[in-house]
Structure 1
Amino acid sequence: MSSGTSCQRQMLPKPVLGETEAAELVDRVFGLRVSWIAPLPSYDDQNFHVRVSRDGGADEYVLKITNEDSQEPDLIEAQTRAMMFLSAEGFPSAVPRLTKRGTIMSLESASGCGNKKYMVRLLTYLPGTPVAKIATNAQIFYEVGKLAASLDKALSEKFHHPSAKSLHRGQFIWNLANVPLLDQYLDALGQNKYREVVEQVIEQFKGKVIPKLSSFRACINHGDLNDHNILVASSAGPAQHPEYRVCGILDFSDMSYGYYVFEVAIAIMYMMIESPDPLGVGGHVLAGFESVLPLSGEERAALFLLVSGRFAQSLVMAAHTAQLHPENREYLMVTARTGWKHLMKMLEVGQEAVERTWFETARAYAHPASPAAAEAPPAGQ
């Protein structure tokens, strides 16, 4: 959802292919005849849900026309190879359909876009319901935390491909280490209390997180495990309290080298958006994450500021990108509807109290006899 922008990468406008041209692209590049096509919402790429007929049935795909990263083929290759690797490891990740030339992607000109060239992929369509569309509960937050740790651990320990070096993305605005770079986008907020809050978050981040980065454990981050990029299916449980399993992981365009604690912070922030008790979410996500990969004391101590930093990134960049693409404003501002309220509440309650809630909840999972654990039993235990 949040494929990032940076100064040099705002050159390409968002692709604007029509459905007919997109269908022709699928035929020309992949040799498949489209029987049905519909646009999918996106941040700054262009995506289509595509159905192609075959003997006795139909196959479904997502046609992904990449925007600013089209100029970085190694990066798209790394993202796609990572998806293929994860699928082979048993994660519910899409895989590419090869082009007629036998490649996983193709740089194509799009006449509807002023003859600019965009990288095109056809990915298997993953059925499921986005977390954003369900009534969330502690069990799904735990599952998301567990997924975040398992995913990063698999990528960091076993994913080896020459293109992976492109995941060292330096000034990439969506890497959590780059919260201080938000300074250059603050004008998108105007002059108001929101800008003052973000400035406060950035200053605290500079003073308390940046000096600690070297003490965090490095890894490859998915970087965008948000409520629209995780698909779930109901597996069991009573109708009023269904249990969910993760059945799809979408959008690897924000992958970069970072730190394990970044991924849990990002997951906490986006799960807060979908909860009636946002300040309580972090403990369940943290418990799931730590069932795979316990955090160190220094990593835990940075969690509050990392979550605040991700809120700042999401809110500032949404405002900035909405100025560039006002026609896509409704989609871009999805997080902002509740995000500002949650960030303000976090800062009002304060780091000490919020952390106490998170850590006590997480501790309860390790000691199931406690009342808190009884309210939210970890999935699969």
Structure 2
Amino acid sequence: MPADQGIVGDTRRDSDAANAWLLTPPPGVPIAFAAEVAAREYGFRGPIASLSSERDRNFVVDAAGAGAGGARIVLKFINSAEPQDELDCQIALLEHLETSAVRAITPRPLRTVSAARHFVATTPAGAVLRGRAYGFLEGRAATEAPASPGLRRALGRRLAEFDHALAGFTHPGTSRPFLWDLMQIGALLPLTHVIDEPQLRAFARAFLERFVAVIRPRLAELPHQAIHNDLSKSNYLVAPEDAARIVAILDFGDVVHAPRVVDLAITASYQIGDAADPLLALEEVAAGFDSVTPLAHEERACLRDLVTARLVQRLVITEWRAAHFPENRVYILRHNPEARRVLRLLSGLP
């Protein structure tokens, strides 16, 4: 059998297993029902508002309005296609981080009034939903903070501290079939048809084939652990008075077990799009990481390929999901133009 046929055959099977969750819409949850659940399950009563999300349905409940001392929680209703193992994994991860050095910048998991780790609730329409809650962290959205070398280095340092805290965490949920796992990126080969630009589509397909055949085997010997896997600008907060100080790391729904350097590459991929020199920006994030966790030569050598892999991943998955969820297209494609632009720079395409 030719090598490329083997790759495509394997990745089609992987894609079938990995894409069900990403093609299931978020649960429909009336805001009044969410308020009832917050009161019943957690004892929180106060103003409630929706939060943006791709796969789940999230709300923030502000108990300050009910005289509860200003506490706020995030109430999350889980996507119906999410395996129970994955829900358990995220809760276990938050509990693990509670005893770590980064506990001040990660959300605090909450138990229900009956001390359960998550709740089950039935909507007025009869849908049975699972959910959980955690403390709300204050800070300025990183999407509103000016990019700078100082911010990029600070982010690299914070990521290294976070990964150090995660190094001892293990759970079966980190090894699931998942299209956002770079180690499973070959599963995107059957989906590259969604890229509408012929040159970019050809580059993406050739790169994915090379990644599976050449790059991924080289990663096997590098340090592996649980990683955040999605530290985009939507998933961390900075101090209101100091845009170069990271005060919160959020959203652990993409956590996987993978080479540690993958976390650095993914984080850097979101920092180079607005830089005059993308490769210099990549080095600034890497320098911050290296100041806490020194990078081996082999890890540095694969950084550019891993950044390119993430950009291809972002381009293919977001185009594919936007076609299935046109009502949420703007949110899903929010990083897509940047991914296209930087991918052209790194690939030499016009």
TM-score computed with the length of structure 2 as normaliser: 0.87
For each residue in 1:29-71, what CA deviation from the matched residue of structure 2 results, as whole angstroms up to 9, or x when unmatched? 22322x211111111111112112454633211111121554x
Equivalent of 2:115 in 102, 127, 136: 102
Q: How does 1:131-142 map to 2 (within 5 A)?
A: 131-142=142-153
Amino acid of the residue matched to residue 100 of structure 1?
V
Name the counterpart of 2:141: 130
Whether the 8 Å CA contact 1:69–1:75 is kept in 2: the answer is: no
Q: Matches of residues 143-154 of structure 1 in structure 2 within 5 Å?
A: 143-154=154-165
**Whole-angstrom CA distance in 1 between matches of 2:122 and 2:18:** 23
Partner Cα separation in structure 2 for residue 203 and residue 12 of structure 1: 28
Cα RMSD, aligned residues only: 2.1
Flag the 1:106–1:274 CA change in 2: closer, same or farther, 3 A: farther
User: Any idea what SS the aligned residue of 2:220 has?
Assistant: helix
Deviation at 1:200, TM superposition (A): 2.5
- Give the distance between the partners of 2:21 and 2:308, measured in 1 at CA: 25
The CA deviation string for residues 116-173 of structure 1, in whole angstroms up to 9 with x for no partner, is 333211111111122221111111111111122221222113x36xxx122122x311
- Evaluate the alpha carbon distance shift between residue 19 and residue 277 of structure 1 in structure 2; reply closer, same or farther with a 3 A threshold: farther
Deviations 1:219-272 (CA, angstroms, capped at 9, x unpaired): 11111111110111045xxxxxx5521111110000111111101100110112
Indicate the residue corresponding to 1:117 in structure 2.
128
Q: Which residue of 2 aligns with 1:303?
A: 303
Write out aligned runs for 1:198-213 (5 A).
198-213=204-219
Tell me how far 1:10 sits from its aligned partner: 4.9
Indicate the SS of the match to 2:316.
helix
Give the residue type in structure 1 aligned to 2:54: Y
194, 200, 206: which is aligned to 1:188? 194
Seen in structure 2, the aligned counterparts of structure 1 residues 11 and 319 have a Cα distance that, compared at 3 Å, is closer
Closer, same or farther in 2 for the Cα pair 1:10/1:288, shift >3 Å? closer
- The answer to whether the Cα contact below 8 Å between 2:140 and 2:240 also exists between their aligned partners in 1 is no
Cα shift readout 1:319-374 (whole Å, capped 9, x = no counterpart): 1111121111111111012210111101119xxxxxxxxxxxxxxxxxxxxxxxxx
Letter of the aligned partner of 1:289 in structure 2?
F
Deviation at 1:277, TM superposition (A): 3.9
Q: For residues 321-360 of structure 1, what are the structure 2 equivalents within 5 Å?
A: 321-348=321-348
Which residue matches 2:271? 271
3-state SS in 2 of match to 1:81: helix
Is residue 166 from structure 1 mapped to residue 177 from structure 2 by the alignment?
no
Q: Flag the 1:11–1:243 CA change in 2: closer, same or farther, 3 A.
A: closer
- Number of the residue aligned with 1:17: 29
After TM superposition, the structure 1 = structure 2 runs for residues 78-93 of structure 1, keeping only pairs within 5 Å, are 78-91=89-102, 92-93=105-106
Residue 209 of structure 1 aligns to a residue whose secondary structure is: helix
Give the TM-score normalised by the residue count of structure 1: 0.81
**Mapped partners of 2:148, 2:279: distance in 1:** 13
What is the CA–CA distance in structure 2 between the aligned matches of 1:16 and 1:90, rounded to whole Å?
A: 37
Judging changes above 3 Å, is the alpha-carbon distance between structure 1 residues 223 and 56 closer, same or farther for their aligned structure 2 residues?
closer
SS of match in other structure, 1:271? coil
| Alpha-carbon separation, structure 2, partners of 1:14 and 1:141 | 32
8 A Cα contact 2:61 2:74, kept in partner: yes
Amino acid at match of 1:150: E
Instruction: Return the match for 1:62 from 71, 74, 77.
Output: 74
Paired residue for 2:43, among 24, 31, 44? 31
Please state whether the residue corresponding to 1:215 is helix, strand or coil.
coil
SS in 2 for 1:122: strand
Please give the alpha-carbon distance, in whole angstroms, between the structure 2 residues aligned to 1:56 and 1:10: 37
* Secondary structure class of the residue paired with 1:57: coil
Query: Contact 1:204–1:305 at 8 Å: present in 2 too?
Result: no
Greater mean deviation of Cα atoms: 17-26 or 258-267 = 17-26
In structure 2, the residue matched to 1:247 is 247
In 1, are the aligned partners of 2:146 and 2:243 still within 8 Å (CA)? no
Superposition deviation, residue 274 in structure 1: 4.4
1:80–1:95 contact (8 Å) kept in structure 2? no
Cα distance in 2 between the residues matched to 1:11 and 1:284: 36
Q: Structure 2: where are the runs of 5+ without partners?
A: 1-16
Q: Secondary structure at the match of 1:210?
A: helix
Distance 1:150 1:274 in 2: 25
Gaps of 5+ in 1: 236-241, 350-381
Contact 1:10/1:68 (<8 A) preserved = no
Matched to 1:168, the amino acid is S
Q: 1:276 offset after TM fit, Å? A: 4.6
Identity over aligned residues, as a percent? 28
Q: 1:221 aligns with which of 221, 224, 227?
A: 227
